[in-house]
Structure 1
Amino acid sequence: MIGPPRPLGGDGEDDEPMIGPPRLLPGPAESDSDSEDDMDGEADDDRYRIPMSNEIVLKGHTKVVSALAVDHTGSRVLSGSYDYTLHMYDFQGMNARLQSFRQLEPFEGHQIRGLSWSPTSDRFLCVTGSAQAKIYDRDGLTLGEFVKGDMYIRDLKNTKGHITGLTCGEWHPKSKETILTSSEDGSLRIWDVNDFTSQKQVIKPKLAKPGRVPVTTCTWDCDGKRIAGGIGDGSIQIWSIKAGWGSRPDISVANGHSDDITGLKFSSDGQILLSRSFDGSLKVWDMRKMKESLRVFDDLPNHYAQTNIAFSPDEQLFLSGTSVERDSTTGGLLCFYDRQKLELVSTVGISPTCSVVQCAWHARLNQIFATAGGKHEGGTHVLYDPTVSERGALVCVARAPRKKSVDDFQAQPVIQNPHALPMFRDQPSRKRQREKMLKDPLKSHKPELPMNGPGFGGRVGTTKGSLLTQYLLKQGGLIKETWMEEDPREAILKYADVAAKEPKYIAPAYADTQPEPVFAKSDSEDEEK
């Protein structure tokens, strides 16, 4: 048929006129396929609806941000970094400058490896590179830290706590009194928040060879009835919490990955388990058939032990970050995958120079959080869309900081502190000064005592001022000290005749009985003979 279709209805004058364009009749098969493809594309866009039109960055860290936690209401954000600090952000109290309202350093010299809010969002767990996890309240005040175990006890079940650095920790999804931690000592432990001195349960993973293999990550399922742990030998082990359960895992996948596992995540229905590893892969597992993975996504470089996986609020998508390689031209990406089709849906470039480590998609805010950073900088990127996102970043971005006026004046207060004056200061310790003087040979030399009379202390006129006559005779050459140059034998024999003629003291008593003394002759005479 050529041309528009014939109008419907009769030819009479009483028929109503047709309004609008005529109805199109179905065309050839090609046009049908094109229209179906267009509809499918629009449906996909409407179905995914990833909020990424706008972005803000929560800065403040000097190194990569390795831990992230957003409370359930979406008002407070925690970020922990390799620079040993923890920053707390409050969307309700921030303005467009996006500054944190509190900074903490949980353990000096230890990286922050995990953060987790309690189910009621009144407390949070902080896991660092030390062996002790800490609990803080909502405002950042320390409530306590768990006890450290005895490192000299060989059996880990007999220690009161972890003995080496922690790797991961997570709060129970339903119970606000229970948390789970994993450590490099090769154990998982369940703790009661009300008792910081003892644990509730110690879980030792199943190993092919005896020894200590670190547990690199751990997680609860959505009901808190199962625990999954990533072991350093690449295996994935799952325990079901039931009466009389022990360390023997219910499900064990020996060769889950070829390298350390950095993240595990259960779906809300408990049928899907996602795993992320150092080997650059993301695997999707069916909990009913754990012998082989459903799908493996490769070419996802990962250089950080805290790289995780997250689900979208409706769990149609799951996402994970990538690290920047040395010779690569691409930066850190956030990759989105379809759960049903098991295919890559979209990639979002977060930073051209920094790696993406942690990610989260908040259900109530409908905003995506991604932590990134490198050796010299770090921050938390928040992606949102004003049309579909609520509160969160929208609240603080709308608050512009107040501009300074010309008339603004603030007097600088002069603080008078009387105790800072010199007269109120404590005298400095002179111990170090005395030790320094004792090491100096000139200052530590004892001075000579003064002379008393013609001679004192075995010295005669050493000061050259006590005996003027003696000083003048010495200087004039009238007094000659010859005893240094004289032979001692000859000096004694000079008085031999005097002693024989005029004996004194003992000699007269033995004058009749004592034989005549025989003196040895000089060496020179013996040599002449």
Structure 2
Amino acid sequence: MHETSYVIKPKLARPGRVPVTTCAWDHDGKRIAGGIGDGSIQVWSIKPGWGSRPDIHIEKSHSDDITGLKFSSDGNILLSRSFDGSLKVWDMRKTKEALKVFEDLPNNYGQTNIAFSPGENLFFTGTSVERESTVGGLLCFFDRANLELVSRVGISPSCSVVRCCWHPKLNQIFATVGDKNQGGTHILYDPTISERGALVCVARAPRKKSIDDFEAKPVIHNPHALPLFRDQPSRKRQREKVLKDPLKSHKPELPITGPGFGGRVGASQGSLLTQYLMKQGGMIKETWMEEDPREAILKYADAAAKDPKFIAPAYADTQPEPVFAKSDSEEEEK
């Protein structure tokens, strides 16, 4: 069996790049329909030399991109769904105008489709939820013979119905709903005429939990997640990381040999600020290590009493006279 590939180039009113937003085969596989980005529907029949020019060209079928096409099994009817919020029914024998147009069907998703019931007595599509609308996602069913809206079934209060399908064997309707944040599938069925499918799990009572059902969750140890098994980072990366760290890459301040500046005291005047200030005030002499501390302090007692500089003036009226204790050491008595 030989496989052959074909490339179909849609017919355009003016040269340019126009996307094909959707396409569909007919029931016999002898025709293919495409929804073109310029709003047209083009149908090609499979025959020698096909693909060069469409057999049916419906210009401006919709005012926006087409999201879904569906042939009837006899090939006489083509359904089209679009972003413009409409569903149109086309008779393939008369394509100048649509056989029927259904409006007010919001559509915000490029995957929104149309589907037939198993006997093709009905066709249906989903609707999208609009921002200010209080109606949720719906499935709208239409009668093929009378071309009328038969029923509107609410599927989701907050999510749009994107795609739908009526399974012929199970006789159940599947509708996918969702938006950018969530998604799900809803199944519509009749317990009397549906077979298997959703009935298999709905009719079955939930199984009671047994003690044997308990399973301890295994603890998985990933050796490469432990520091012991990790590869040592390269020296180059470590150096780059240290250089980016403002604390680690800070150069130590060099000692000042001059008089000092910027709040720092020069080494020539003493490295400690306290020591520097006491030297400048004459509080420290070079022989202070050899002097008796008690005598050194008492030398300034008279000067402090006559000319108090700091705290004493504030308490001059209330401060009691200081009484110094006599020395108890034997050395001073001698």
Name the amino acid aligned to 1:207. Answer: L
* TM-score of the pair, normalised by structure 2: 0.69
Unpaired runs of 5+ in structure 1?
1-174, 178-191, 193-198, 449-462, 465-529
CA contact 1:228–1:237 (8 Å) conserved in 2: yes
Distance 1:295 1:439, change over 3 A: closer
Give the Cα separation in 2 of the matches to 1:307 and 1:417: 45
State the distance in 2 between where 1:345 and 1:244 align: 43
Give the 3 Å change call, closer, same or farther, for CA 402–231 of structure 1 in structure 2.
same
Q: State how 1:52-451 maps to structure 2 within 5 Å.
A: 200-405=5-210, 409-411=214-216, 413=218, 423-439=228-244, 443=249
TM-score, normalized by length of structure 1? 0.44
Larger relative contact order, structure 1 or 2 (CA cutoff 8 Å, min sep 6): 1
Distance 1:405 1:206, change over 3 A: same
Q: Which has the higher strand share?
A: 1
Deviation at 1:421, TM superposition (A): 6.2
Partner AA of 2:202 in structure 1:
V
Q: Distance in 2 between matches of 1:280 and 1:410?
A: 51
Letter paired with 1:320 = T
1:414-445 deviation digits (Å, cap 9, x = unpaired): 66777776554432334332113335687486
- What SS class does the counterpart of residue 128 from structure 2 fall into? coil
Rounded to whole Å, the distance in 1 between the matches of 2:198 and 2:92 is 36
Give per-residue Cα distances to partners, 1:253-300, cap 9 Å, x unaligned. 012111111110000111110011111111111111111111111111
Question: What SS does structure 1 have at the residue aligned with 2:6?
Answer: strand
CA distance in 1, matches of 2:199, 2:48: 47
Q: Which amino acid aligns with 1:307?
A: T
CA apart distance, 1:376: 2.8
Measure how far apart 1:236 and its partner are: 0.5
- Displacement after TM superposition at 1:323 (Å): 1.4
Give, as a single letter, the amino acid of the residue that structure 2 aligns with 1:429: S
Deviation at 1:242, TM superposition (A): 1.1
Using the TM superposition, give the Cα deviation of residue 354 of structure 1 relative to its aligned residue in structure 2, in angstroms: 1.6
Counterparts of 1:246 and 1:419, CA distance in 2 = 58
Alignment of 1:460-499 (within 5 A): none
1:81 maps to what in 2? none
Rounded Cα–Cα distance in structure 1 between residues aligned with 2:105 and 2:196? 32
- What CA distance in whole angstroms lies between the structure 2 residues aligned with 1:422 and 1:303? 51
SS in 2 for 1:310: strand
Aligned to 2:297: none
Q: 1:277 to 1:433 in 2, by over 3 A?
A: same
The answer on whether the counterparts of 1:281 and 1:299 sit within 8 Å (CA) in structure 2 is yes
Shift of residue 249 of structure 1? 0.6
Deviation of the 1:357 alpha carbon:
1.4
* Partner-residue secondary structure (3-state), 2:95: coil
CA distance in 2, matches of 1:246, 1:434: 65
Amino acid at match of 1:200: S
Specify the code of the residue in structure 1 equivalent to 2:23. Answer: C
What is the percent sequence identity of the aligned residues?
77
Over residues 372-431 of structure 1, what are the superposed CA-to-partner deviations in whole Å (9 max), with x where a residue is unaligned? 123432211110011101111111223444333467654455667777765544323343
SS of residue in 1 equivalent to 2:17: coil
Aligned-partner residue type, residue 183 of structure 2: G
Q: How many residues are paired up?
A: 255
Distance 1:437 1:227, change over 3 A: same
SS in 2 for 1:396: helix
Deviations 1:142-195 (A, max 9, x none): xxxxxxxxxxxxxxxxxxxxxxxxxxxxxxxxx9x9xxxxxxxxxxxxxx6xxx
1:224 partner amino acid: G
Amino acid at match of 1:318: F
5+ long unaligned stretches in structure 2? 255-266, 269-334
Instruction: Give secondary structure in 2 for the equivalent of 1:434.
Output: helix
| In structure 2, C-alpha distance between the alignment counterparts of 1:352 and 1:300, rounded to whole Å | 16
1:108-164 deviation digits (Å, cap 9, x = unpaired): xxxxxxxxxxxxxxxxxxxxxxxxxxxxxxxxxxxxxxxxxxxxxxxxxxxxxxxxx
The one-letter code matched in structure 1 to 2:175 is: A
Aligned pair in 2 of structure 1 residues 411, 305: CA closer, same or farther (>3 Å)?
Answer: closer
Offset from partner CA, 1:74-99 (integer Å, 9 cap, x none): xxxxxxxxxxxxxxxxxxxxxxxxxx
Equivalence for 2:315: none
